[in-house]
């Protein structure tokens, strides 16, 4: 991933993860796998786990520990009402920005 992509991803990764969690509770490794399947092959697990800590602290997800066959219990993240609200705001902002950028790309003002 190029430097520009990395910088842009920093500002959008929270929204992307919240979108992945919509109707799809998941644990950290699953989220990393989903991100890679969505076209972000170089995403580091550490980046995802740090983000999960932040969104948990912000109260955007509910967390449940579930037993794992392969070691300690897994923390499963579920988007809650506050997270849905944050995601809606993310999509509104994304739409606004993408419309402005498209106008600029086409030579508009």
Chain mean position to CA 64? 18
Confidence check: pLDDT of 80 > 70: yes
pLDDT band at 1 (very low <50, low <70, confident <90, very high): low
pLDDT value of residue 29: 94
Provide the residue range defining the domain that includes 44: 3-105
Q: Which helix (H) or strand (E) holds 27?
A: strand 26-27
Confidence check: pLDDT of 7 > 70: yes
* Contact between 17 and 48 (Cβ < 8 Å): yes
Confidence check: pLDDT of 91 > 80: yes
How many structural domains does the chain have? 1
- The better pLDDT of the pair 94, 70 is held by 94
Express each pLDDT in 15-72 by its tens digit.
Answer: 999 999 999 999 999 999 999 999 998 899 999 999 999 999 999 999 999 998 888 8
Average pLDDT over residues 73-102: 96
Confidence check: pLDDT of 109 > 80: no
- The pTM of this model reads 0.89
Q: Residue 33 half-sphere exposure, CB side, CA atoms within 13 Å?
A: 5
Q: Which CATH number goes with the domain that contains 64?
A: 1.10.10.10
């Amino acid at each position: 991933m190029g430097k520009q992509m990395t910088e842009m991803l920093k500002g959008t990764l929270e929204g992307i993860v919240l979108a992945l969690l919509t109707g799809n509770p998941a644990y950290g490794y699953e989220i990393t796998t989903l991100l890679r399947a969505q076209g972000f092959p170089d995403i580091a697990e550490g980046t995802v786990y740090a983000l999960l800590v932040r969104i948990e602290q912000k109260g955007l997800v509910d967390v449940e520990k579930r037993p794992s066959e392969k070691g300690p219990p897994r923390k499963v993240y579920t988007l809650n009402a506050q997270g849905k609200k944050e995601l809606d705001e993310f999509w509104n902002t994304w739409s606004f920005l993408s419309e402005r950028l498209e106008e600029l790309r086409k030579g508009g003002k």
